[in-house]
Amino acid sequence: MLKLLIVDDEIKIREVVKEYAKAMDYECDEAANGYEAIEKALNNEYDCIILDIMMPELDGFSALKEIRKQSDVSIIMLSARLEEEDKLTSFEIGIDDYVTKPFSPKELMARVKAVCDRRKKNANTEKFVHEDMIVDISGRTLTIEGERIMVTPKEFELLLYLIKNKGIALDRERILEAIWGFDYDGDDRTVDTHVKMLRRNLGKYKDCIETVRSVGYKFEV
């Protein structure tokens, strides 16, 4: 059974989402603001957090940043704002999906399932080791020179996807579909932004991610 945390200052939205989630046998917790979201997220185990951006006391962006310091739980952001910059900022911080209001509760539940299914698919017992860089797939950790490197869930999925397709030039559209889903309505800049952040976190191994001109990227060691 999946366990969800629904974070929104509008009780009616929480009730609707909870109703549809429980119809799918999901267990649900609620939070009405960013502070409550942080406290519950860091003291409980959730499969996915549905997090609104515009909230009183502490907004979703701020809550997301704090949660990401200690947890890589799957997060779907909700927003009534349509600005592309909000979406890009959300993905840069480390969300798994973005849904604009008004939304279809059925579609939201489908996205929750898709996000959690992708997480499960990647949760196996393999490890990728290159010199002193270790990518623990089951533990979803990246270690370089014995030090744990903190990356966002999307950065980790991107790294894992590149590694699994080592030596293959992957175009941006293919990467978008694999990591963000076929129905993600962002553009190529999302991939470029995440590659930039991932390279920064890889440090001395940043050149393992090669840019393939007019195509996209590939992983080489």
Predicted confidence (pLDDT) per residue in 124-169, tens digit: 557 888 999 999 887 889 999 999 999 988 899 999 999 989 899 9
pLDDT, position 182 = 57
Strand stretches in the chain, DSSP E: 3-7, 27-31, 48-52, 74-79, 97-100, 127-130, 133-136, 141-144, 147-149, 170-171, 209-212, 216-219
* Residue 27, strand partner residues: 3
Measure the CA–CA gap between 211 and 200, rounded to whole angstroms: 14
Predicted confidence (pLDDT) per residue in 8-49, tens digit: 999 999 999 999 999 999 999 999 999 999 999 988 989 999
The CATH T-level fold of domain 3-121 is Rossmann fold (3.40.50)
Confirm whether 3-121 and 124-219 share one CATH topology: no
Strand stretches in 112-219, DSSP E: 127-130, 133-136, 141-144, 147-149, 170-171, 209-212, 216-219
Lowest-confidence region among 15-24, 84-93, 96-105: 84-93
What mean pLDDT is predicted for residues 56-70?
89
Tokens of 133: 């860089």
Tokens of 192: 């470029």
Domain boundaries, the chain: 3-121, 124-219
pLDDT, position 10 = 94
Tokens of 47: 């499969």
pTM over 0.75: no
The CATH T-level fold of domain 124-219 is Arc Repressor Mutant, subunit A (1.10.10)
